[in-house]
Amino acid sequence: MTRTCRKADSSPTTSRAPRTLPPELLSAGARRLGVMALLSAFASAGMGVGSRLLGSRLGLPPPSEIVLFAEIAAITASLGMFALARRTEQDAAELLDRGLVYEVGMGFVIAVSYHCWPAPPGQIPRGWSPVAVWLVAFALLVPATRGKSALATVATALMDPLGLTVSFAFGRPVPPALVVAGMFLPTAIAAVAAIVGSRVVSELFQEAGRARELGSYRLVSLLGHGGMGEVWRAEHRMLARDAAIKLVRAGADASGRELMARFEREAKATAALRSPHTVQLYDFGRSDDGAFYYVMELLEGFTLEEIVRRFGPLPAGRVVHLLRQVCHSLAEAHAAGLVHRDIKPGNIFVARYGGDPDFVKVLDFGLVKALTASARDLTQAGLLAGTPAYMPPEMALGRAVDGRTDLYALGAVGYTLLTGLPVFDRTTALETIHDHASTQPMPLSKRVATPVPPDLERVILDCLAKEPSERPGSARALDARLAAVVLTEPWTREMAERWWSRNGAAAIPAEPPARDAEDGADGRHVTTPAAAAG
């Protein structure tokens, strides 16, 4: 289940190097890196062929195997970087970090080719080394934060003398020290120019980022990304408070407008709720370029999906403790006339919160609908939206929903928490949706070796009833039934503290990457023909 924020001009931290670049500049830099890599591949091939033709006319001996190896390495690395930059799911910041490694590697192979190339006896290469040209061009065209850019520039410059050292190993005569110093003076000058130029570019990037900040927040680091959205850790420029900023860009077509409408619904619905177990929203709006964003509290912990995947099924006492908190969030939403419609482990976050361990926050109200919506309102053009592994029958069949729709999904969540398995473990999304619509779930006691309290199993299976009338009548009613479950080992605060002491260091930030609809039976969100469910 995320973009630019700023420090005030009067802040003493304004002049510091940004810890991350503005997202749109990251994307532009990634595109330039791909183009530069492709051009470098063609240039390496063209210069290799051209130098051989010129050398044969001048009567020079053919280049050694090390030169051929360096040329092949340069072409291969450049084409590989181009292919990596073309991957649409590639994170731009991570790609640019890899690009700095590519810069250093290319500096080495360029230096080897240059210094190992055959030359007339006694002739020493002079003038601007190709390494000097390379590092200046890279520093100015491919953005990076100041520290990373300076480190990569220095490392690339050092590849020039390293390439000369390699040439000595292949029999090239060693020139006097003063001559060597003169050979690398242009590279040293180019390195200084590249560092200064990169700093100027970095400051321009920082200014551009400040010009496009959202509200009173400045981006700190990217938490996740998807096809159309990103989630960023952000800091308030006046308050000592971090936050998460979720930003979504979409096209002007119908699908783009629907996506923007979904996130606007999510922001408005979340802002209207006050339950401590619903993620709190601080601000939302649109940026100057039309992107939609909202700012929410930043949590550190795990989604229930992550907990089950990493730690396995949960004890019954803990499941009751967690589900009751979800009921608190849903009870308020339902009382306000809202149905979440996408309750699943990935949208239930567990954190240390205000000193309380195992504190639940319900996330992602992006599919929220008003209780007054008709069945026709719930689908568009024969499509339905939801998560197959937790889809209530009425959503699978395109019928009207109410609060009991969320209780079915919450029952499926409880089933997964207790067993570590989905209610229906099928291969495809359509098979899973069909089972939710028409197949009775297997009792939990038949799928796990650890005994499940009979009254807890009854509550879970009642939530999974195909007919809404056979489920608990409300989230408060479900909460009361969970509170009445007789547990041989209730989940205590001391137990929760011990669990977090052991595992809290591996906690992740809340709010998964914004992502596009996907087909799958493993709990991922899908948009699929409603008729296929029946």
- Determine the longest span between alpha carbons in the chain, in angstroms: 95
Q: Which amino acid makes up residue 225?
A: H
Q: How far apart are the C-alpha atoms of 395 and 344, rounded to whole Å? A: 14
Which residues are catalytically annotated? 342
Please, are residues 279 and 299 in contact by the beta-carbon 8 Å criterion? yes
Question: What dihedral do alpha carbons 24, 30, 34, 37 form, nearest 10°?
Answer: 130
Q: What angle do helix axes 130-141 and 92-116 make, rounded to 10 degrees?
A: 170
* Closest alpha carbon to 399 in 385, 382, 378, 413: 378
Q: How far apart are the C-alpha atoms of 479 and 327, rounded to whole Å? A: 6
Please, are residues 474 and 371 in contact by the beta-carbon 8 Å criterion? no
* Closest alpha carbon to 407 in 362, 465, 358, 485: 465
CB burial of 364-395 (b: ≥16 within 10 Å; e: otherwise) equals: bbbbbbebeeeeeebbeeeebbbbbbbbbbbb
* Closest alpha carbon to 399 in 366, 437, 434: 437
Q: Which residues contact 492 (CB under 8 A, 6 or more apart)?
A: none
Q: How far apart are the C-alpha atoms of 36 and 123, rounded to whole Å? A: 32
What is the residue whose two structure tokens read 């503005």? 22
* Closest alpha carbon to 414 in 326, 339, 524: 326
Please, are residues 295 and 245 in contact by the beta-carbon 8 Å criterion? yes
For residue 24, give both structure tokens.
Answer: 């749109």
* Closest alpha carbon to 533 in 363, 417, 383, 336: 383
Report CA-CA distances (Å) from 515 to 31, 36, 246, 529: 21, 29, 11, 20
Q: What angle do helix axes 92-116 and 23-58 make, rounded to 10 degrees?
A: 20
How many DSSP H helices and E strands does the chain contain? 15, 13
